[in-house]
Structure 1
């Protein structure tokens, strides 16, 4: 347990350190060249429509809908959907905070002559919110299954590439998002455990209250 906590802390710290280094180091121009080259490769292979579809794997509304559907499907044992909902809240707060703390300009805005925007994005670039949601979200959905983790890893890589292909992010934005996301999963787990316990306790209290209100029970 301590080893996992240490790894999670290091991952979170690495994400923040990477973001600060990128903000202060002046690497954006170099990275924009790689983004431009990747976009040319994707366009040359006629893969842009594919990546435009793949990018929805990290969309906030898609994940919110998925969490609601999962809660309906697993309402008798809501541990996993509650964990997913808690994760979405925590990761949104974390990514938005880091984005506005570092204020990295998106590649299509900073280098419009090099990078083409295939979609409008408003918030700062680092880290990628799409990748952060998917990286940890798929971990929650896998629920310890090695097979699902392997399959979801492929989807996360494709999603990360889609964010670069669309000109929304640098490659390092997606790396930083993954480093930030995974440590938030156990935090979301602890929150959902407490929430589940509170809901269970409330259910018991309500049942007792109803029982006492029945005729002849006063």
Structure 2
């Protein structure tokens, strides 16, 4: 919309300029050049202004959606509003992997609140889209695995979790999810190995100074999940 306004301003200015007569040609050329230069400067200044008509940037929409998903207690109404924000970001920028990942997380949370398989399937689709947009997104792979597991698709979940640990071998939450999956399949040895890997990552991270929240999240398995797994595997507390 803004470029169109700048172009209209240039046309309006051009319409009021005198057409050069032969005797005034050189002076008119200089005047015209100066006028057009002024229009260009004005247009450039206008283009630096935000386009208020376009609404919030996709990044802001995603931040708001993620904040709503973190809020407690979770209600379906609040999650539905968060889902709408994330979807707006996805529609505005279809290759924005973080937006699709946020959409998947919110849909998976709603699936838990509503106990709806359709929402879990929609979450899996959003995570898959995030992985296509950014094949290196480990959290999208973890999210897809969780959504597929909620749908009862254990082979698909295994593939997603294995993809996550290939991307980030020190992703403790992914190893925890693999431990759960192996336990559900009766693969006790594999479950113990996966849980041991998650616990080792957490132990090695103690006292370490992390630069980013991403690094901290990789080394932070859910303590409650670890405790449940240890109890189920007979490893005590």
Relative to the length of structure 2, the TM-score reads 0.22
Rg comparison, structure with higher value: 2
Point out which structure has higher relative CO (alpha carbons under 8 A, 6+ apart): 1
